[in-house]
């Protein structure tokens, strides 16, 4: 009788033992897979790789940065404007001086031409030699021309300096303040 009782339970016994084996393998896999969870929890808690801040904190930080930068930008802009005004005045002075010297050169040329005509006609009324006065006029004319060339060089140098300052302004970002500073800030545009 034990054989007849044993045979119907054998498939159930086999099924039960394979279920127990499967459960133990699953438990072992879960244990291995979750063994690192406590360490990850500590790492994430200590290092906090992702910070979340509120929108109000972000707006406050932006306003703080703007409030600290705006006065510095305004100071820099005032300095640059003052330098540009000084250079403009100096350029105007040099241009005026150039015009004055050009007028003097023209007057000296006319005078020299008039004397040349008198000398060529044989009517030299001056005391001394006619060649000496002509040499003096030529020397004076040469000095005036040299002075004119120096003044033109100074005007060109100042114009180049002015252009350099303008390029530096554009490079420094001061040129583009209009779009970046809003909300009570002064807008600048060159």
The pLDDT of residue 175 is 47
End-to-end Cα, the chain, rounded Å: 111
With 0.85 as the threshold, say if the pTM is over it: no
Q: Can you give the residue ranges of every domain in the chain?
A: 2-46, 53-180
Residue 121 has what pLDDT? 62
Give the per-residue pLDDT at 58. Answer: 87
pLDDT at residue 185 in the model: 41
- Residue segments in the chain with a per-residue pLDDT below the cut of 70: 1-6, 46-51, 119-131, 173-190
* The two three-digit tokens of residue 98, written as one number: 């150039």
């Amino acid at each position: 009788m034990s054989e007849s009782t044993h045979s119907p339970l054998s498939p159930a016994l086999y099924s039960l033992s394979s279920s127990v084996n499967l459960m133990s393998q699953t438990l072992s896999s879960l244990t291995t897979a979750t063994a690192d969870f406590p360490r990850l929890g500590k790492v994430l808690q200590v290092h906090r790789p992702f910070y979340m801040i509120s929108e109000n904190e972000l707006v406050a930080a932006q306003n703080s940065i703007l409030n600290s930068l705006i006065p510095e930008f305004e100071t820099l802009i005032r300095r640059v404007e003052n330098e540009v005004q000084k250079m403009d005045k100096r350029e105007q002075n040099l241009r005026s001086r150039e015009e004055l010297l050009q007028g003097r050169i023209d007057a000296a040329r006319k005078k020299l031409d008039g004397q040349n005509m008198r000398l060529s006609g044989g009517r030299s009324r001056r005391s001394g030699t006619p060649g000496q006065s002509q040499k003096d006029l030529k020397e004076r004319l040469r000095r005036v021309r040299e002075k004119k060339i120096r003044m033109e060089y100074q005007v060109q140098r100042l114009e180049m300096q002015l252009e350099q300052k303008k390029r530096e302004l554009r490079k420094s970002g001061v040129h583009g303040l209009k779009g970046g500073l809003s909300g009570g800030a002064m807008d600048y545009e060159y």
